[in-house]
Amino acid sequence: MSEMLSLSRAAKLVGVTRTEFQKKIRDGEMISHDGMVSIENLLSCYPDAQLDDTAESRRVAQIKERAFGKRVFESVLPDAEVLAARVTELSRTLAINQGQVQQFNALLGKLWDKLAEVESRLGTESRATMQELKTWIKHEVELAMEPGFINPLAIKDAVLRITTAQVTVLPGKQEFLVEGHDSLLEAAIRSGIPLNYGCSGGNCVLCKARLVSGEVKKTRHHDFVIPEAEASQGYILLCSNTAISDVVIEAAVAGSVQDIPFQEISARVKSIGHINDDMLLLHLQTPRTQRLRFLAGQNATLRVGGSFSADLPIASCPCDDRNVLFHIHRQSGNLFSDYVFERLKEHDAVEMEGPHGEFILHEKSQRPLYFLAFDGGFAPIKSLIEHALSLEAGNICLHWFGSSQKNIYLPKVAQAWRDALDNFRYEEHIAGFDLRSVSGKREETLLRQLGNISSGDPDLLQGEIYIAGPEDAANIAERFFLDKGLPKTRVAVASVK
């Protein structure tokens, strides 16, 4: 029987997304039993999969690098102890398999003797049949032992089992891979799975989860001692352990904004980048032990200079919870904006509170994702798209409307997604007027632009729509889709000043 692989592991082996697999399963091109596929079936769908590297995996690596920064690729191999433990585990499996092969060989020898004994008692006619059977067995055994029969994907899978371990989270059956030096918690967050946690440092106990099967290794000392009764049931801290083998855990996953606690964090300015005269990219970094837990698309309140505050959409992905980005729009006379543009500098403290807001991704939907950003509405949309990419979502389309070309202030980010991913489309639209003030003729123009998009894309009205931007423009876009008959549950809107 052919070896079975989980969808996550199989996707990693052939260098495609799980979404592509799911499509093949829906289309009947690939057969899955309880979330597993056979290596044989995998090879028949991807005959070139034995290549070390595929164009697709290079593209996915490229997009992840652009989206999340080089940090993702800092450490591909786990530390020496974890590596040794995984090699030991693999050697144990190899030893078991070798033992089984030896037993089968011995059994084959006995079978041969038995056949010879039976043959000696047979008549001439039956002996000919027996000879035919022996010739067939000999041929099949030789065929099975030929080195060329070894499946290249099986070799690649063995290597993958040393560099990564797969985690399945119950009860939702979410899957992710642990790579490099990552703890179970870090790997989950990078994969877009919002497990419960607080300090990331072994103090708050919020990341406590039960190990159902598999082996883990403690990678960080924590002062908290898990009570004996719980430890014997398999309870561990996800922030302080990594996986040695494939593991199954039972853990709390945030399903809504209510599951995320309110936090107050004193962050530092890592960098301030001027995108243009009116727009600035503020990169805040939290302390290691107090990261900002949020869902993509949510807001945080920033306070600078002791008393100037603003509620802003987070423009980065929860998959990097220490590095939190904001797009700051210059607003003359606004004390917060003036302070950030004129006085804030690297290493300054910025108080951060939050998160809040309900503009989040409907992760369970299988529909195509459509994002409509108006001017600075790109900030929460960027967070949602990066999260969707880490979840390996299916088809994604971004329409960015700018009051002017200058208001499409980070076109290269969107162009990079489009260039790197086959399932990503991106279009820019220039309104030619201030999208913060839309009525009369301007409203007609905007509705006409939305109508052109809709009539040119038959899938648009089948998708999940996410709209973010100045209130006027966002409200008009929302009404446009509701008038087209989309239910309110499929049109999410965020107002961004």
Name the residues that contact ligand FES, by CB under 6 A: 197-200, 202-207, 237, 239
Which residue is listed with tokens 């969107």?
Answer: 414
Are 292 and 425 contacting, i.e. CB atoms less than 8 angstroms apart? no
Nearer to ligand FES, 199 or 272 (CB): 199
Rg from Cα positions in the chain: 28
Amino acid sitting at position 240? S
Minimum distance between the CB of residue 11 and ligand FES, rounded to whole angstroms?
28
- CA gap 209, 197 in Å, rounded: 10
Q: Least Å distance between CB 165 and ligand FES? A: 19
Least Å distance between CB 486 and ligand FES? 39
350, two tokens: 């910025």
For ligand FES, the closer CB: 17 or 240: 240
How many Å separate Cα 232 from the centre of its chain? 32
Least Å from the CB of residue 201 to ligand FES: 6
H or E, element range at 398: strand 396-402
At closest approach, how far in Å is the CB of 355 from ligand FES? Answer: 17
Give Cβ neighbours of residue 496 (< 8 Å, ≥ 6 apart): 313, 374, 375, 376, 377, 379, 380, 468, 469, 470, 474
Between 294 and 370, whose beta carbon lies closer to ligand FES? 294
Smaller CB distance to ligand FES: residue 38 or 241? 241
Nearer to ligand FES, 260 or 416 (CB): 260
| Burial of 441: CB neighbours in 10 Å, binned 0-12, 13-18, 19+ | exposed
In whole angstroms, how close is the CB of 289 to ligand FES at the nearest point? 8
Whichever of 200 and 390 has its CB closer to ligand FES, that residue is 200
CB of 317 to ligand FES, least distance (A): 19
Instruction: Please identify, using beta-carbon distances, which residue of 197 and 326 lies nearer to ligand FES.
Output: 197
Helix, strand or coil for residue 91? Answer: helix
For helices 440-455 and 471-483, the axis angle rounded to 10 degrees is 50
